[in-house]
Amino acid sequence: MKLIEKLKATATRLRRELFALYLATRDPRTPWYAKAVVACVVAYALSPIDLIPDFIPVLGYVDDLLLLPLGIYLALKMIPQQVLTESRQRAARTSDRLSKNWVAAAVIVLLWTAGILFLAVYLLRVFCS
């Protein structure tokens, strides 16, 4: 039981951090490169489709367990502390939440499609030469 409660608390904390990051990108004091990283992290976090699908054993959860927290950590390091503190306070005060990002899902589908096409072209060249 305690493990499930810890996971729920961690998920709640991550959602709040994502919302705070989103709010920080709207602040003019946030550097452009931090905004770019945050945009990628938030879009990926909200995408209903993972880069590595969860049904793939072990690798399917690598993006959820490693990539997303790493992206959040990097984004948090790039944002000025004062902006981050204010954004966290605003995120805690509001009940607004971010919704799923279908644009990010489309980008992930396009990446998979491009990867499959490149692999198919490569295999055709190798086996048809």
83 pLDDT higher than 80: yes
Whole-structure pTM value: 0.62
CA distance 84 to 105: 27
CA distance 45 to 65: 12
Domain with 87 in it:
2-127
CA distance 8 to 11: 5
Q: In this predicted structure, what is the pLDDT of residue 127?
A: 85
Q: In this predicted structure, what is the pLDDT of residue 103?
A: 67
Average pLDDT over every residue of 6-35: 84
* Backbone φ/ψ region at 96: left (φ over 0), alpha (ψ -120 to 50), beta: beta
Count of structural domains, the chain: 1
pLDDT tens digit string along 32-82? 999 988 888 877 777 767 777 777 777 777 777 777 888 888 988 999 999
